[in-house]
Amino acid sequence: MGAPTYELITTGTGTSVTFTSIPQTYTHLVIAYRGNFSSTNDQFAIRFNNDTGNNYSDNSLAGNGSTVGSGYDTGTNAIYCGFVANTNDNACELSIFNYTNTNLNKQLLNKFGSTATQVSIDAGLWRSTAAINRIDCFVYPTSHSFGASSRFDLYGIKGA
Amino acid sequence: MASTMTAIQTVTVGTNSPTSISFTSIPQTYTDLVVKLSARNPNPSTGNTIELRFNSDTSNRSERRLIGNGSTASSTSSASQISLTVVGGNATSSTFGNLEIYIPNYTASVNKSVSIDQVTENNATAATAALGAGLWSSTSAITSITIITTDSTFSQYSTATLYGVFNSATESKPDTPTIGMAGSTSSTSAVVAFVPAGTGGTAASYVATSTPGSLTGVCSTSPITVSGLTSGTSYTFTVAAQNPGGISGQSAASNSVTPGTGNYVSLASYSVTAAGGDSSISFSNIPSGYQRLQLRITNMATATGSNKMTFNGDTGNNYRWWQSIGNGTTTSAANSAGLVGYTQPIHNASTSHPSGTIIDIANYSDGNKIKNSISYNASNINTSNTGDSSIRAGLWNSLAPITSITFAQQSGNIGQYSIYELYGIVG
């Protein structure tokens, strides 16, 4: 049976998730997340290749049905996206473009929904041209965590 | 020498015992005609002569015939008819005489000469072979042919077929089409888009052929569906055009397609390699057959500003967009209508960092719907935060199916290392 263009690579569950030894055979990656957070005002954080240097930045556009806001972070040690307005039933589709391309810094686009309470779109940048072979998903602040039943599906998308 | 022969009409006699067999409203698009007749009549005579008439004309006919029955030969002539012979009732039962009438240049403004060769079986002990040359002294184009017996009828199961013949020297075969995109639509099928040559003979149909396997699909317009593929096997396709005059050359091979279980199909990818960038990027000959299209774009720009997207080469005032955008400090919303050819799905606030964009276009091939797109844009974030996150809805006020998409920067070029990828999503 043939491999599809959009393919599930692996699934992780738990209070934080790390994907390692990511195959370098795709063009893009997508992380589909659904689950809970331990507190409101938490953020979904993502880090590449275990780079803990201040090599990340992000901005977001969020709306809660009555107001709209935008925020940003620069010179951080992870990309912070998906602002949690309700601890339960959050979901996101997080796209990582051209993750193996060594000519480009790595760009991220996240569509995040928080229990029909808030929706946001987030842009993230990792200022590194290295191919991504590891992804850490965790909660910011780091003293907090995902709910134990949170699920993270890592997909690979092949290009032509 | 004729290159193709196409059956036009067939008449099969039932139990009604007709006195004639006719072909009417003969198309005038061929070069020559051929009639093949297999017939019998109940008249007990060993052979019965019947007549050949064109356009119901009972005059202006003549013939010369050479006849042999295995023991004697004879030659006859007539100044008033063109004769055919079928077997009579005394012949061995269930035996039919067979003949072929060849009528060249039936539409030309010349007198019509015909050749007739035929065989009959008379009575199980003898057979007749006859060769005839007939002439209809008329310059009219032949529009009907009647084979008529004046003293008998045609027996049940007598059959006559009229064929049209193209002379290859007259009908030009079509020129080779240009291959477009190919993509899978199921685990065992693919669609192949192409562009007709527009020169050479008029194509009657197009054939796509797979490599490996030489599986084919036929259609009269793009795209062609090829079925019977094997899931997991990589195929390329070529397309040829055909008409009665012949078959064109094969197009170049398509992109590789691997039918599988997924419904997310990679159609095309383009990477900008030039140091100065490209002025535009286009995806052309996009096949129908998917529920929607998706573009995943990493865009670098040589100048700040927006990227524009147009469809099918339309640069008229037929576009509109709406957007919500946050730059990390403030939010804003905007829209614009009556735009000349762009929907601004991609924004670069800096030339040093890429933007990432996902564009979804639903119902792109639906000729009953105005075309909508939605784009999610993550724009070059850097240490000084000159980027933005945005959602943009675009509208192209056209019912036309989208067959091409073009991107260009409002200022400067699409920069080196930009990557544009097109996917088809199966419903």
| DSSP states of A4-60 | PSEEEEEEEESSSEEE-S--S--SEEEEEEEE-BSSTT-EEEEEETT--SS-EEEEE
B14 in A contact zone (CB under 8 Å): no
Using the predicted structure, report yes or no on whether residue A46 has a pLDDT greater than 90: yes
Largest Cα separation within chain A, whole Å, is 49
- A135, amino acid identity: I
For every one of its 427 residues, what pLDDT tens digit does chain B have, with 9 covering 90 and above?
334 677 788 899 988 899 999 999 888 877 889 999 999 888 877 667 789 999 999 999 999 998 888 778 889 899 999 988 877 777 777 788 888 999 999 999 999 999 998 888 777 666 788 889 999 999 999 999 999 988 889 999 899 999 888 665 556 788 999 999 999 888 889 999 999 998 888 887 899 999 999 999 988 888 999 999 998 899 999 999 988 778 899 999 999 888 876 678 888 999 999 998 999 999 999 998 888 999 999 988 887 777 889 999 998 889 988 888 888 888 888 888 777 555 666 766 566 678 889 999 988 999 999 998 888 988 866 656 567 888 888 889 999 999 999 998 888 899 998 999 999 988 6
Residues from chain A that touch B265, judged by Cβ atoms under 8 A, are: 5
Instruction: Please give the Cα distance from B380 to B412 (Å, whole number).
Output: 17
In B180-300, which ranges are continuous DSSP H helix? none
Residue B11 CB-density burial (10 A; 0-12 exposed, 13-18 middle, 19+ buried): middle
Instruction: Please give the Cα distance from B294 to B275 (Å, whole number).
Output: 27
Spacing of C-alpha B109 from chain mean position: 32
Instruction: Please give the Cα distance from A138 to B287 (Å, whole number).
Output: 42
Instruction: Please give the Cα distance from B251 to B242 (Å, whole number).
Output: 13
Using the predicted structure, report yes or no on whether residue A1 has a pLDDT greater than 50: no
Q: Residues A85-103: what's their mean pLDDT?
A: 87
Q: For A11-36, how does the pLDDT look when each residue is reduced to its tens digit (9 = 90+)? A: 898 889 999 999 999 999 999 998 88
Instruction: Please give the Cα distance from A61 to B330 (Å, whole number).
Output: 9
Nearest chain B Cα distance for residue A130, angstroms: 15
Residues from chain B that touch A6, judged by Cβ atoms under 8 A, are: 262-264
Which residues in chain A (17-76) have CB-CB distances under 8 A to chain B?
27-28, 57-63, 68-72, 74-75
Please name the residues in contact with B269: beta carbons below 8 A apart, sequence gap of 6 or more: A27, A159, A160, B419, B420, B421, B422
B127-136 vs B61-68, strand pairing mode: antiparallel
> Which pLDDT value is given to residue B126?
67
A128 in B contact zone (CB under 8 Å): no
Among residues of chain A, what percentage have pLDDT more than 70? 96
Q: Are B424 and B351 in contact (CB under 8 A)?
A: no
Q: Are B27 and B148 in contact (CB under 8 A)?
A: no
Residue with tokens 């909508």: B372
> Which pLDDT value is given to residue B351?
65
Phi, psi torsion values for B153, nearest 5 degrees: -135, 170
How many interchain CB pairs under 8 A, A with B?
A: 171
Say whether B407 sits in a helix, a strand or coil: strand
Nearest CA in chain B to A72: B328
A124 in B contact zone (CB under 8 Å): yes
Cβ contact B326–A60 (<8 Å): yes
Say whether B202 sits in a helix, a strand or coil: coil
Tokens of B402: 């989208």
Dump strand ranges (E) for B79-188.
83-87, 97-103, 112-121, 127-136, 145-148, 159-167, 178-186
Cβ contact B231–A68 (<8 Å): no
Exposure b/e, B279-292, CB count within 10 A at least 16 = b: eebebbbbbbbbeb
Query: Which of A29, A105, A128 has the highest number of chain B CBs within 10 A, making it the mutation to test binding with B?
Result: A105
Spacing of C-alpha B3 from chain mean position: 20
Please name the residues in contact with A132: beta carbons below 8 A apart, sequence gap of 6 or more: A22, A29, A48, A49, A96, A99, A100, A106
| Residue of B264, B298, B419 lying closest to A5 (CB–CB) | B264
> Which pLDDT value is given to residue B427?
64
Instruction: Please give the Cα distance from B340 to B48 (Å, whole number).
Output: 79
> Which pLDDT value is given to residue B112?
95
Residue with tokens 């050359």: B249
> Which pLDDT value is given to residue B316?
86
What spatial distance separates the first Cα and last Cα of chain B, rounded to whole Å?
Answer: 50
